[in-house]
Structures are given as C-alpha cells and as structure tokens.
Structure 1
Amino acid sequence: MEQLTLTLRPGTSPVHLFRGGVGEPVLYLHHLAGLQGWEPAIAELATKFEVIAPYHPGWGPSCGLDDVESGLDLVLHYIDLLDHLGLERVHVLGHSIGAWIAAELAAIHPERVNRLVLAAPIGIWDDAIRGEDPFAQNPMRATEVLFADPARRENLILRDGTVDPLEVYIQEMKDLKAAARFLWPIPDTGVARRLPRIRARTLIVVGSGDRIVPPAYAQLWRARIPRSETKTILDAGHLMNLEQPSRFATIAGSWFLQPN
C-alpha cells in the first residue's frame, strides 16, 4: 500500500489517497466520516483488486473544498484523478456521500465505470422514510449515530483510547462540516433524475441498522437504476465497512468479479 499526494492540474489543491493491491482497478469513494486509514475492508478488497481510495476534497488531509460547489464539480474532480492515473475504466465502490458521487459519475460518464456498488447511498429523500440527521449530533459523540451499535465507535473510531480523543472530535466535525456543504439541511441532491442514465451493473447495499439511510431507501434507488440489485448486511449501520468489514469487502468483490 502507498499513501500518495498528487496534483491533478496546475493551481489545484493536492489529492491525498491510498493505493494498493493487484488486479482490476477499483475506485473507492468514502463515506461521511472520511477514511480511517487503510481500513480492514479496503485491505481485504486489495487482495483481489488494485484499490484507489482518495480523500474527498475537504476531508482528512485534503483541502480544495472551496473549489467544489456541486456534485458535478466532484465528478470532474474524480475524472481528473482517473485521467492522472491513466485509468480509462474502473469498478467503483461508493459509500454514503461517496455513493452519491459514484452514482453521478456513472450517470454522467458511463464509459468510465465498469461495475458499480452503492453502499448506504445518500442523495434521495423520502418524507415517508426519512432518516436521522448526521449533522445534529452531540459534538463529543458525532459519529455514534453512524453505527448500528453506538458503543462500537469506542473501538472503531476512538480505537480504545490509542488515539487522542480531542483530535478525533476535531476531525469528525471537520469531515461532517464538509459533508454538510452538499447534504444539509435535506440530503436530496437531485441525483434521482439522473439515475436512469447509469449503464453499469449496479449493486445497492444497505445496513440493516442504518439510521441515516434506512434500508427502505434501497428500493427507491433500485427502481431508478436499470440492471440493479440490492443486498442487506445484517448487524450493520451506516458505517458497515467498519462494523462488518469482511462482509462488506466480500459483497463488493464478488460483484466486481461477475461478468457484465
């Protein structure tokens, strides 16, 4: 695994990313809470694929949030990244806000996406289903709502006290502030109108205990995306990649290995 810093075009902010593994390339677009390093789920996926996992602009060490104002800007950002890496066509695994970006990418540039996985996708709002507001939480426990079992945050984010809690709290708020730019107050991005343009075979994955994107949303995405299927991960919330990393990696990897 390499941790890289790249400048895509003159005058733009550097992109920070992880890259590792061997096989067909997979672009992993992370969730609301950013990347927790080279996560176990990413490492497992990298046993079969080459995984490229960038921080979105404004998350983690990445700057450049002021350069993006819309989903289209984020799509262009990732097209620039693929061009810089010399990757014409990739599998895409988008998670949470990353799933919204992944769906936009597949709709606007279908020629660049091979197979698509949308995990806990944000971007459609239904008043009958709703979902909890990730931006209205206690600042000292900001990401508890992202877990099926809030107590898991202690181990998976705070790592049982092995990291400085204050640094974690600050980073959580920074990442959520970046996400709020696109998703607050109502996480309706208008992507529903563009989903029928997706040509990639698509798998929509939800966590049975997701309070941000309740499982009922899966059918709304499936109804709009041609050639799509759904799967549920049990005992998992919005951060299913941390709560059930092996299941998360196995489901995505199996989907990418299927023929089109």
Structure 2
Amino acid sequence: MAGWNEQNLQLGDVRLRLWRGGQGRPVVVLHHDIGTPDRLPFYDALADKFDVIVPSHPGFGVPERPQWMRHPRDLAALYQWMLTELEVERPSLVGLGFGGWVAAEMAALAPRDFHRLVLVGAMGVKPPEGDIFDQAIVSYIDYAKAGFLNDGAFTRVFGDVSTDQLVAWDLCREMCFRIAWKPYMYSQTLPHLLGGVRAPAMIVWGSDDRIVPRSAGELYARSFREGRIETVPNAGHCVDMEQPEALARLVTPFLDQN
C-alpha cells in the first residue's frame, strides 16, 4: 500500500492542505462538496499505480475560507497555481461530484495541459433533463446520505456521524452557497468552453445517482472533443466511496494510456 504525506502550500493568502502518495504518472483527485476523509480506498487504489495528489478544497469543512473566492473557476485557477508550485506537468484530473466541476473548469482554462480527464457524477453543467439536488431543502446529514445508494452504504463510510462531522458539513454547505449558488451548482458558460480541451475525457456515473441527473453526464460527454460515458452499477453519487474497487478498475487503464 502506498505511503501518504500531508503537505501545506501557501498560495497567496490561501493555506492549501493536500495529501500525496504513490509513484508514476501524476493524477490530481478533486473531492466532493461534502469534503473527503483523509484516506479512502479509492485513493489508495490509484496510488498503487500513480503519483496521486488530493488537495482539500479551501473553506470546505474548515472555518478559514478565502473571502475573495466567488466561483469554482477561482478554485480551478488556484489549483493551477498549486501545480506550478509542485512542478507537476501534464497530470490527469479525477473530479468527484463538485470536484468534477472544478476539474472541467481547469481543463477549460488550460485546454492543452492535461493528460486525461475523469469526471465522476460531475456538477457544473445544467442537466438537460432533471435538476441537481438542492441541498438547501434537507439537513446536512440527509444531503450526505442522498449521495449513497442506501443508508447501509453511507454507514460503511461514515459510521456513527460525530458532531465534528456535522459541523464540517455545515461549513461545506456555506462554502458551496458562497461560490456555487446562482445558478445552483452549474455554469452557464462551461459547456461552450469544453470543445477545445485536448485531453480525452471519461465521464462516469453511478447507476442510481440521486444528486446529479445522468443527462448532465451525457451533456459532458457530448461537449468534449473526445468524451465517453460509463456507468458503475450499484452506486449512487459517491461512486468513489461506495464502489472504490470497481471505479479504480474502470479508470486506471484509461489514466495509464499514452
């Protein structure tokens, strides 16, 4: 199993926390809007083959936040800065849910800079059919649970939810509303900017995603020059947490291609 190191980068007034593990081609994993545990089996599976970098979105789950940040594109630009500081060239991006939106924005900002893109249940585009689940109408814990196929799958990942976890989800929600509220969880311009992206894109959807309609994934697949959509069975929105082995088996050969 790959060893992991925690690092902190100072990017202007932002102190960025990240984890890095494994060796090989660089792969940046961008996590969900509900944050991420420090370690996940999916991250470990990728780190068996790749040099994996997992930044923690500033302001998500912690009280310190960049007061100037107003759009996921700002986060995308910050992560470009991160790559410069780490001297990482032509990484692949794996974006999970909200992190998929950020990954797509990164690719749109620098269409020649990435090796491969994997977007899993990605927000960021308006679904042609259906709507992105509005977390404002449910509790923090019910929103997190909605990302899983059932309560049993949720409990396997989070167990008995602590007060600290509820506070972290509250802070994640505040940051989402700050940077992704109007319109809610999508960009009106992003689909028009993806056609120039040179990297092949794999769009992955859980078979039972209740957060983002599959029609959004189909729109993503059509918007890229070279995009395709795949389905992981027995999974909701948080495919990486529910079906880590299946997701890793699906994306690893794609990320490893020349």
Q: What's the TM-score once normalised by structure 1's chain length? A: 0.91
User: Are 2:200 and 2:226, in contact at CA under 8 Å, matched by a contact in 1?
Assistant: yes
Match of 2:27 in 1: 26
Please say which of residues 38-47 and 55-64 is displaced more in the overlay.
55-64
Residue identity in the other structure for 1:187: M
1:168-224 deviation per Cα after TM superposition (whole angstroms, max 9, x unaligned): 111111112212223335322121121212111000001111011122322111111
Match of 1:220 in 2: 219
1:138-167 deviation per Cα after TM superposition (whole angstroms, max 9, x unaligned): 23433111111133222212x2x3xx6111
Match of 2:127 in 1: 126
SS in 2 for 1:27: strand
Distance in 2 between residues matched to 1:63 and 1:112, nearest whole Å: 30
User: Are 2:123 and 2:216, in contact at CA under 8 Å, matched by a contact in 1?
Assistant: no
SS in 2 for 1:112: coil
Deviation of 1:35 after TM superposition, in Å, equals: 1.2
SS in 2 for 1:113: coil
Which residue, out of 3, 6, 16, partners 1:3? 6
Distance in 2 between residues matched to 1:95 and 1:216, nearest whole Å: 16
Q: Report the CA distance shift for 1:139/1:64 in structure 2 as closer, same or farther (over 3 A).
A: closer
Distance in 2 between residues matched to 1:127 and 1:111, nearest whole Å: 28
Which residue, out of 164, 171, 174, partners 2:171? 174
Distance in 2 between residues matched to 1:4 and 1:46, nearest whole Å: 16
Residue identity in the other structure for 2:90: R
Question: Within 5 Å, which residues of 2 pair with 1:1-260?
Answer: 1-9=4-12, 12-61=13-62, 63-126=64-127, 128-157=129-158, 159=159, 161=160, 165-184=162-181, 186-190=184-188, 191-259=190-258
User: Are 1:116 and 1:200, in contact at CA under 8 Å, matched by a contact in 2?
Assistant: yes
Residue identity in the other structure for 1:25: P
**Structure 1, unaligned stretches of length 5 or more?**
none
Distance in 2 between residues matched to 1:100 and 1:142, nearest whole Å: 18
Please say which of residues 58-67 and 114-123 is displaced more in the overlay.
58-67
SS in 2 for 1:220: helix
Distance in 2 between residues matched to 1:131 and 1:64, nearest whole Å: 25
Q: Report the CA distance shift for 1:14/1:101 in structure 2 as closer, same or farther (over 3 A).
A: same
Deviation of 1:257 after TM superposition, in Å, equals: 1.1
Distance in 2 between residues matched to 1:17 and 1:124, nearest whole Å: 27
Distance in 2 between residues matched to 1:68 and 1:6, nearest whole Å: 17
Please say which of residues 207-216 and 23-32 is displaced more in the overlay.
207-216
Deviation of 1:102 after TM superposition, in Å, equals: 0.7
1:71-123 deviation per Cα after TM superposition (whole angstroms, max 9, x unaligned): 33112201110011011221111111111111111111123211111111101
SS in 2 for 1:52: strand
SS in 2 for 1:142: helix
1:11-70 deviation per Cα after TM superposition (whole angstroms, max 9, x unaligned): x12101110001111011111111111111001100000100001111134833313212
Distance in 2 between residues matched to 1:65 and 1:142, nearest whole Å: 24
Residue identity in the other structure for 2:254: W
User: Are 1:93 and 1:252, in contact at CA under 8 Å, matched by a contact in 2?
Assistant: no
